Amino acid sequence: MTDLVSEDSDVVPTKASNSDVSPWWKTGPIYQIFPRSFCDTNGDGVGDLRGIIDKLDYLNDGTDRSLRVKGIWLSPIYPSPGRDSGYDVADHETIDPKFGSMDDFDALVAECRRRGIHVVMDMVLNHTSDLHRWFLESRSDRNDPRRDWYIWREPRRRGRPPNNWRSFFGGPAWTFDEDTQQYFLHTFLPQQPDLNWQNPEVRSACLGIFRFWLERGVSGFRLDVFNAYFKHPELLDNPRQLGTTPWTRQRQLYNKDRPELHDFLIELRSLLDEYPETMAVGETFDAQAELAASYCKQLHMAFDFDFLQQPWKPRSFQRTIKKWDGLLASQGSWPCYVLSNHDHPRHAGRYGQGVSPSEADARAKIAAAMLLTLRGTPFIYSGEEIGLRDVPIPSHEEWDVAFKYGSRDPSRTPMQWNSDVNAGFSSGHPWLRVAPDYHTRNVAIQEGDPRSILSFYRRLVTLRNDTPALLFGDWQPLQDDPDDTLIYLREHQGAYAVVALNFSNTRRRVTLDKRLPVRYWNARLSTRRPDVGWAVRLDQTLELGPYEASVFTSVDEMSDVNSRERIAIG
Ligand code: NOJ
Ligand code: CA
């Protein structure tokens, strides 16, 4: 590693003006690691904390040869029986031995700090594992002091569950406990009983968990299904509606998004504010943009999964971005964007359906250019930067049997580092099979190829870091109703960037509906243009080649022209 980043230096983004002193979580990509699939150092086939430490230079070595990520979000690393791949936590205040020890964790935080990387923990607090000490005590006896830490109710007539709620994973949301003759509630698996957030003892225990990790040097939290914490105190039946699954056939009115949550989030925020620059991003579960935005008043960010669910159509993306950006801008909040994570099919595969592998890669670059040039924090899911696709997993090798509507294993396969055995992920037998294409698709190969998806991600991050308009600027679409292209303007304190993306495999000529603010631009990055690094004149009509992604920044004076470092064609 060269040129270590000091802790302070990454607070101020590169070349941004003095007024742009922004917290870390606004200025850089946050990289999601699914720890069991990232890097295994002891040959047991499961990724571990030492493996993450080994790969930190890849994430940010202080130079533009790395991804320059500002934060890593670790999917759960706590002890867990693994019924939901770690999202069933048995102890929130230690590390699962299969990932390492507390010493390894402290070393990880320290090594991250040296590189200007912030550690974001996954906080799974809507529910615990049924093997968590709290639940074992709670279910042991109706009079146990912890009984009311979970949601227990008498059966209705003829032994029926207490209400009509469904589990998101399928089946009823209630399981009967023979020993104590009551039902307990679980929004997910029966092995994931929901905590009773109406109980003040539960709230204070959970705040204690946040503090525990803050004291260990963590800089942020991803809040798993936080909007389901509180349930209506009377557990009323949810109204029915039209839908395609038992879950969607109910309006989830009484089991999530309760008003009490806002008071808790205020309390949480004041705890986080005791620690400088701490960030919380909420996983808004089963929610529309308006609802997700409403939580951004207390949380720093929230995911809006509408963006991730759009088809490969500029018009759909533009509509979604416009809504999300507009909602957040009007309340002074900060957006974030995500295209892939451990719960969804990987986007290179989704957008690449029905086209050749090379076209799918071209689309992955367009998607990356969009993700990394919007106003808001980009979240990168480990492996998307090399264009990983889902890997079909035969049923006898499946781990994720929790989700009845389709296993999520295919998007959780091991990271592909090189062409060695098991893609360099593990010298042992990987817990989940490695994609068969790893000999041709891996980090080592793509690092050496200036036209690879990985090189393109790196160049985009470099450009973003160099360009206040891309980091902080307002976002404005330049077409009213786009067809095959997505073209937008970013503006920050009189400096501009234009991003032009052609989602199609043919040449497009587009007349912009909005006027460009200036005539001369620097072509800063492109998958097609030969004039990158040079000044260009942009008119109201733009010509874009097949799958072209180009980014231009405004030039105030002709003297600035060609003064910038040339960024090679991607
Ligand atoms: C959301 C997580 O992302 C998902 O993986 C998990 O199954 C559910 N929450 C339940 O914790
Ligand atoms: Ca291991």
Q: Which of 274, 480, 557, 565 is catalytic?
A: 274
| Ligand minimally distant from the alpha carbon of residue 122 | 1
The DSSP secondary structure of 363-429, one letter per residue, reads HHHHHHHHHTTSSSEEEEETTGGGT-------GGG----S-TT--SGGGSPPP---SSGGGGS-SS-
For ligand 1, atom 6, which residue shows the shortest CA distance? 87
225 Cβ inside 6 Å of ligand 1? yes
Distance from Cα 47 to the centre of ligand 1, integer Å: 19
Query: Which amino acid appears at position 92 of this protein?
Result: H
* Contact between 229 and 199 (Cβ < 8 Å): no
Instruction: Supply the pLDDT for residue 227.
Output: 98
Interaxial angle between packed helices 357-371 and 453-466, expressed in degrees from 0 to 180 and rounded to the nearest 10 = 20
pLDDT in tens, 58-116: 999 999 999 999 999 999 999 999 999 999 999 999 999 999 999 999 999 999 999 99
317 is written with which tokens? Answer: 């993306």
d(C-alpha 235, C-alpha 214), whole Å: 34
Positions of the chain with pLDDT under 50:
1-20, 557-570
Ligand 1 atom with the smallest distance to the CA of 126 is: 11
Which residue among 40, 61, 194, 224 is the active-site one?
A: 224
CA distance 19 to 323: 27
| Of 34, 75, 78, 224, best ligand 1 pocket probe by most atoms within 8 Å of the beta carbon | 224
385 lines ligand 1 (CB under 6 A): no
The token pair at 27 is: 């200025």
pLDDT tens for 397-445 read 999 987 777 899 999 999 999 999 999 999 999 999 999 999 999 999 9
The pLDDT value given to residue 569? 38
- Report the pLDDT value the prediction gives residue 366, as an integer from 0 to 100: 98
d(CA 278, CA 293): 19
Residue 8: predicted pLDDT: 32
Query: What tokens does 291 get?
Result: 């609802």
Phi/psi of residue 478, each to 5°? -100, -5
Backbone phi, psi, residue 326, to 5°: -65, -45
25 Cβ below 6 A of ligand 1 = no
Residue nearest to atom 3 of ligand 1 (CA): 343
Q: Which two tokens stand for residue 303?
A: 């995911």
Q: C-alpha angle 83/89/92, rounded to 5°?
A: 165
Active site residue 274: yes
Q: Tokens 């983004």 identify what position?
A: 13
Residue 84 Cβ < 6 Å to ligand 1: yes
Would you tell me the crossing angle of helices 200-215 and 260-272 to the nearest 10 degrees? 30
How many Å lie between the centroid of ligand 2 and the Cα of residue 457? 28
Determine the Cα–Cα distance for residues 489 and 50; give it in Å rounded to an integer.
42
Query: How crowded is residue 330: how many other Cβ atoms within 10 Å of its Cβ?
Result: 9
Q: Which residues pair with 31 in a beta bridge?
A: 72, 380
Pocket test for ligand 1, best of 89, 129, 188 (most atoms within 8 A of CB): 188
Query: In this predicted structure, what is the pLDDT of residue 405?
Result: 74
Local structure of 444: helix, strand or coil: helix
The closest of 169, 155, 98 to 127, measured between CA atoms, is 169
277 is catalytic: no
- What is the distance between the alpha carbons of residues 507 and 504, in angstroms, rounded to a whole number? 8
